[in-house]
Structure 1
Amino acid sequence: MAYLPPHKRHPSSTASAPTPNPPPPSLSSSLRSLSLSSPRGRGRVGGGRHPLPSNKIIHAAGCISRWSPLPPFFPSPEDSDGEEPTLRLEPFPCDPIERKTGAKPLALVASSPGQGSSGSTATAVTAIAERFLPDLLAAAKRAKASYAPKEEELVKLNLVARVGKVLFQTQPGRSPVSLETLRQAAKAGEGGSKSQLHKSFYTNVPNECLDDMEQSVVKRMALEFDSSKEHYHVKVFDKHHSDSTISCKCTVEEDGSLAIHKVEWNKVRHLVEDISCLFKDLDLRLMLCTKRILKTLDPEVENALKSLVSSAVIDPDVKGGLRWPLGKESIGERFSIVGVWHTNYKAFRNETLRLKLRHGDRFDHQTSAGEVSNEVTFKLIGMSRRLEDVDPEETSLKEMLEPVVQMVWDNALNYKIVP
């Protein structure tokens, strides 16, 4: 049989195909054209010549990444006087994590709440702001101090709120995650120390959530339509910068070819606050990152990126939406494709807030794993600008943060994630 490269191999015709789950009809036609079944995979690239990063997440030195529940744990079960809600850890179906670990992650779930234990929106908003703001100011100060001005880079602070589900996994060789483990992790977070808790934030929400956000929540938040765009993100490993990945954000030209719109390094995280919202369907993440945009490129890097992008073939039948002819996934020993994203989004905004509803189809070339997701992200653009000031004032930041948290709490956390 003639050799077929991995990206050309089709599953057996006798195998049953997964049933697609179409996105809501109100989203753009380009979004609807994406296949939610992620039908085909591809093999590794680069021939194993050198280790490649995989969707690398970079945490800055001194980054705080912590978790807490709302309402909070009582100091101990004996101190609750019957008011603490009944909590349990429940397996949560999550294909990306199950493929990696072989087991379902766990979510913290509340049932039989005690009288008044759910608390009010005002109570939750105040608790989040009081906990988050002091560390936000400190993290912003560290971030600004860590980046010396460079002519070739534009570095911006980026404060976002995301909705999803906080999930926990047991680490190999360690004790299973338990309620007492979580209680100790929450206590460690309150004290400013790190715990050994292994958590993740799963951001995929149901199609109905995106649809309702677009049709109803945008209006309740008094947001105006901003833009609707489609991008292909080509992730490139540069052996000379092995601690980061280059991301080329590309648009489709009239002739069907790809053109590079923007080139960025990985974002760097400085503060991550994950909150299990026990009487909501979804949880909340607040995160401060630095976004690193490359304004000018070394000629060798620029030529390599243009060559890799121009060689890409748009193919809706492969994961990530792009494939490369055999031998075109790398350039010499230095540059290699490590991943691709195909994203469609709609954005809505006011003067201080930008809501992005995004559908993403991702493929990781190292693991040959794909993932399709719907994501809701609130960009706190007003606060991000204020944090760039030399000495941002905490009171004014609090006055900006609390209304946003309240809007998210009341409007964006009430959707069941159905497997």
Structure 2
Amino acid sequence: MSYIPPHKRNLKDPVRPSPVPDSLVPKFKKNIDFKSSSDKGNAIVHSGDFISKWFLIGSNGIEDEVPPYVKLVPLSSDSSERIDGVKSLVLMNNDLQRVNITTESRKEEKEKEEEERTRWLLLAERVEEDLVLAYEQAKRAMEDPHLLDSAKLRLVARFGKMIFYGRQAGGPVAEYSLEKTKRIFSTDVPTSFIQNIKSKAIPSHKFCIGEFKETYIVKALLNPVRYLVVNVSCLDKNLDMRLMLAGKRKIMALTEKEMSKIQELLDSATVDPNVKGRLRWPIRKTSSEYRILEVCHVKSTIYKNQTLRLRVRDTDRFNERYGTGEIERGVTLILQSVNTMLQEKDIERGCVMEMLRDVLGTIWDFFRCDAN
């Protein structure tokens, strides 16, 4: 199954949040998350010692070079989505024999799955040192109370797809360096992936429902500081993975008068299920000294087990600056136990490796929910 871009998925997966009941309208303001920032909008913020790695994992394990059977292809044959005027591309494994197991026996299929899982777990050895180093740098930054909330470091694993642009489709990728190719990580996943997670991965890993949230987010965003991003392109899978360590920054500069004006702006919003983002402002508010950058209506379900939190969300987003909107579905694993352990002093590397392998094993089980 080829990757379906968000704008096409809206048509094929018409799962739009249901209209807001009357009882929700007067209390939606309590569920508004206002994130304040400069007019730069959603610019990504990196620490001075930011670590970025990118791995490709295929049938031979972690690839040091792009295999010759991998090509860059458009998101879909009829996709018109472009970035900077160039059509968006994804990596595709063109050697079908490497991933076709329909003629194999069940025993052979199971053996192959175990081999793939073993190769995947080698990723722990590649990321351990950078992960420990990123935490050391983040903890030093947390000593400055004006920069970070010391309780808000988060380590997460996200599923999605690496999207490339600035290159032409076709031809072996090995002909040029992908490291110099512009790329983004899209966290939008197919509905089928979420359905399979709920029916397979959640029961097998003993997750239970922790809470359900419905939130309206108004962004003029003060973005988290990123300390580590590890992108993993899974050449034999339909989805990729991102491991990221980031820390929330404190808002220090808003006065009471500014907060009052912001609250006035929020109070003037009206819930409208017929508009993208599901919040609408009176026309007179468009001239406010505070400008709304983005509006999101998020419905998320949190699942928990002893070591992890799983967030499954539906986001109805509208970007006020560009007049664009989309419905996005995402799956995030919050690695609580690893995050807690790596913030302790004098941690043993052996414990880090053991817990990291356990987490990667869980992530691999989630990948198996991908309907290739």
Which TM-score tier does this pair reach, normalised by the shorter chain?
A: 0.7 to 0.9
User: What one-letter code is carried by the residue in structure 2 that aligns with 1:90?
Assistant: V
Distance 1:276 1:136 in 2: 18
Distance 1:304 1:176 in 2: 53
Asked if 1:353 is matched to 2:308, the reply is yes
Question: Identity rate of aligned residues, in percent?
Answer: 31
User: What one-letter code is carried by the residue in structure 2 that aligns with 1:387?
Assistant: L
Q: Give yes or no for contact 2:54–2:230 (8 Å, CA) kept in 1.
A: yes
Q: Secondary structure at the match of 1:337?
A: coil
TM-score by structure 1 length?
0.70
Q: CA deviation at 1:228?
A: 0.7
- 2:159 pairs, out of 145, 160, 163, with 163
Q: 2:48 — aligned with what? A: 61
Distance 1:152 1:85 in 2: 45
Distance 2:318 2:170 in 1: 31
Asked if 1:120 is matched to 2:96, the reply is no
Distance 1:379 1:73 in 2: 24
User: What one-letter code is carried by the residue in structure 2 that aligns with 1:167?
Assistant: I
Q: CA deviation at 1:322?
A: 0.9
User: What one-letter code is carried by the residue in structure 1 that aligns with 2:149?
Assistant: L
1:46-101 alpha-carbon deviations (Å, 9 max, x no partner): xxxxx932323212222122322103576679xxxxxx672222211499992443
Q: Give yes or no for contact 2:46–2:227 (8 Å, CA) kept in 1.
A: yes
Distance 1:220 1:91 in 2: 35
1:129-171 alpha-carbon deviations (Å, 9 max, x no partner): 1111111111111122123343796242110001111121117
Q: Give yes or no for contact 1:272–1:288 (8 Å, CA) kept in 2.
A: yes
Q: Give yes or no for contact 1:348–1:354 (8 Å, CA) kept in 2.
A: yes
1:15-48 alpha-carbon deviations (Å, 9 max, x no partner): xxx857333xxxxxx94449xxxxxxxxxxxxxx
Q: Give yes or no for contact 1:304–1:331 (8 Å, CA) kept in 2.
A: no
Q: 1:262 — aligned with what? A: none
Distance 1:387 1:181, change over 3 A: farther
Number of residue pairs the alignment of both structures matches: 330
TM-score by structure 2 length?
0.78
Q: Give yes or no for contact 2:74–2:169 (8 Å, CA) kept in 1.
A: no
User: What one-letter code is carried by the residue in structure 1 that aligns with 2:207?
Assistant: L
Q: 2:30 — aligned with what? A: none
Distance 1:220 1:85, change over 3 A: farther
Q: 1:222 — aligned with what? A: 206
Say which structure is richer in helix.
Answer: 2
Q: Give yes or no for contact 1:22–1:32 (8 Å, CA) kept in 2.
A: no
Asked if 1:290 is matched to 2:274, the reply is no
Q: 1:141 — aligned with what? A: 136
Q: CA deviation at 1:225?
A: 0.9
Give the unaligned 5+ runs of structure 1: 1-17, 24-29, 35-50, 78-83, 186-194, 237-244, 246-264
- 2:13 pairs, out of 11, 18, 21, with 21
Q: Secondary structure at the match of 1:180?
A: helix
Question: Within 5 A, what are the aligned runs for 1:8-407?
Answer: 19=11, 21-23=13-15, 31-33=17-19, 52-71=39-58, 86-93=69-76, 98-110=81-93, 111-112=95-96, 119-125=115-121, 127-150=122-145, 154-155=149-150, 156-170=152-166, 179-180=173-174, 184-185=177-178, 195-236=179-220, 245=221, 265-292=222-249, 294=251, 298-329=255-286, 331-332=288-289, 335-407=290-362
Give the unaligned 5+ runs of structure 2: 1-9, 21-37, 100-110
> What's the Cα RMSD here?
3.3
Distance 1:222 1:87 in 2: 37
Q: Secondary structure at the match of 1:148?
A: coil
Q: Secondary structure at the match of 2:223?
A: coil
1:95-128 alpha-carbon deviations (Å, 9 max, x no partner): 9992443443222222245699984202211x21
Q: Secondary structure at the match of 1:204?
A: coil
Q: Give yes or no for contact 2:160–2:241 (8 Å, CA) kept in 1.
A: yes
Q: Secondary structure at the match of 1:210?
A: helix
Distance 2:174 2:139 in 1: 37
Distance 1:370 1:124, change over 3 A: same
User: What one-letter code is carried by the residue in structure 1 that aligns with 2:330?
Assistant: E
